[in-house]
Amino acid sequence: MATTDTPRTDIAFNQRLRVVFDDLQKAFGDVALRHGITHEELGQAITYVQKLVGSGEFMLATTLLVANRTIEVSYGRAYAHPEKDGASTWMATGPAYVPGAPEIDNPGVLPMAPDEPGGTLFVSGTVRSTSGKPLPGAVIDLWQTTADGRYSGLTPEQAGPLEGLDVVDFDLPKYHLRGKIVTDADGRYEYRTVVPGVEASAVPGSLLDDLLHMLGRANARARHIHAHITHDDHHMLTHQIHFDGDPLVDIVTEGAIARELIHKTELHDDAAAWEARGLTGPYRTLTCDYILRPIGFDEVKDPYVLEGFWKQ
Ligand SMILES: [Fe+2]
């Protein structure tokens, strides 16, 4: 029988795990100390986590409440710290992405029904490098929900974490409200769509729903339009447009939305304006410039990326 004096040869000491674990352990301890966490409260938290595992909600809960920041600094690492050079803020792709969306014209219209419900919205802007140079030929791969908050194109198997949330419409065409638009010679784009809806985050009455109520957070994701923006010589940006005036941006399930992701819309409600656009009613416009970070920026010298930390 192995004792503490008998070194194990089947498993190696892991310096990186030790460093991260030590830091995590200290962070938990610091929070407990700062807030005077009681024995009873700790017990309640452990019991809650055990119940989450038992009910099968653990993955969804940790993804929504804990993992966002972790995903941001791992998959979105190329866009960490946008304040350095004005690069756009990175957001996770999420489970609703479907590859292979068709290319639409520029200016164009996202694939939708002729009588698609929802407020008409024109989104336009420029894709630029952090140097300020416009980027012609950038591809913006867009996806969003319908006005009633449901995604197209996912099979029941692909719906995965969204299962049971009623945020997928299996009857819609695969690429409904999904499309790629390519920027013009000036790096500009414009497309017409409808204002997206609100997605539920947790099954009503579930343990996660209970926690969200206790936290004063909404069991919903704020209205948003997803995009992957790609261009040669630049890191792919994953992004979500959010909307000014949407009350959910401050109480959304995963925590308040970063201010720089929230965009104003302008309402155009005079008949001359909408008729000039070939529309039969009011519409809104929104401007979103995507700022991409060039490949080859000096990550190692970035003090925030912890020099050498990622190379182990
Ligand atoms: Fe989404």
Tell me: the pLDDT tens digits for 248-257? 999 988 888 9
Q: Cα(169) to centroid of ligand 1, in Å?
A: 13
Q: Cα(51) to centroid of ligand 1, in Å?
A: 27
% pLDDT > 70, the chain = 92
CB proximity list for 183: less than 8 A, separation 6 or greater: 106, 126, 127, 134, 135, 136, 137, 138, 139, 140, 189
Q: Cα(234) to centroid of ligand 1, in Å?
A: 24
∠ CA 14-17-23 to the nearest 5 degrees?
140
Cβ proximity of 194 and 113 under 8 Å: no
pLDDT tier for residue 308 given thresholds of 50, 70 and 90: very low
Q: Cα(148) to centroid of ligand 1, in Å?
A: 13
The per-residue pLDDT for 177 is: 98
pLDDT exceeds cutoff 60 at 228: yes
d(CA 221, CA 199): 5
Average pLDDT over residues 57-80: 80
CB proximity list for 65: less than 8 A, separation 6 or greater: 211, 253, 254, 255
Instruction: Name the 3-class secondary structure at 64.
Output: helix
The string of pLDDT tens digits covering residues 269-302 is 999 999 999 999 999 999 999 999 998 765 544 4
Structure tokens of 303?
Answer: 């003090």
pLDDT exceeds cutoff 80 at 305: no
The string of pLDDT tens digits covering residues 11-38 is 999 999 999 999 999 999 999 999 999 9
Length of the chain: 312
pLDDT exceeds cutoff 60 at 120: yes
Give, in order, the Cα–Cα distances in Å from 36 to each of 68, 100, 237. 26, 51, 40
pLDDT tier for residue 1 given thresholds of 50, 70 and 90: low
By the 10 Å C-beta count (0-12 exposed, 13-18 middle, 19+ buried), 60 is classed as buried
% pLDDT > 90, the chain = 68
CATH class of 77-292: mainly beta
Q: Checking DSSP bridges between strand 265-268 and strand 283-287, what pairing results, if any?
A: antiparallel
Which range among 51-55, 57-61, 212-216 shows the weakest confidence by mean pLDDT?
57-61
Q: Cα(145) to centroid of ligand 1, in Å?
A: 7
Instruction: Name the 3-class secondary structure at 130.
Output: coil
pLDDT exceeds cutoff 60 at 309: no
Q: Kindly report the average pLDDT of the chain as a whole number.
A: 89
Instruction: Name the 3-class secondary structure at 140.
Output: strand
d(CA 77, CA 72): 6
Average pLDDT over residues 107-119: 96
The string of pLDDT tens digits covering residues 146-168 is 999 999 998 877 777 677 778 88
Instruction: Name the 3-class secondary structure at 105.
Output: coil
Cβ proximity of 188 and 123 under 8 Å: no
The string of pLDDT tens digits covering residues 76-107 is 888 888 888 999 999 888 888 999 999 999 99
d(CA 143, CA 98): 8
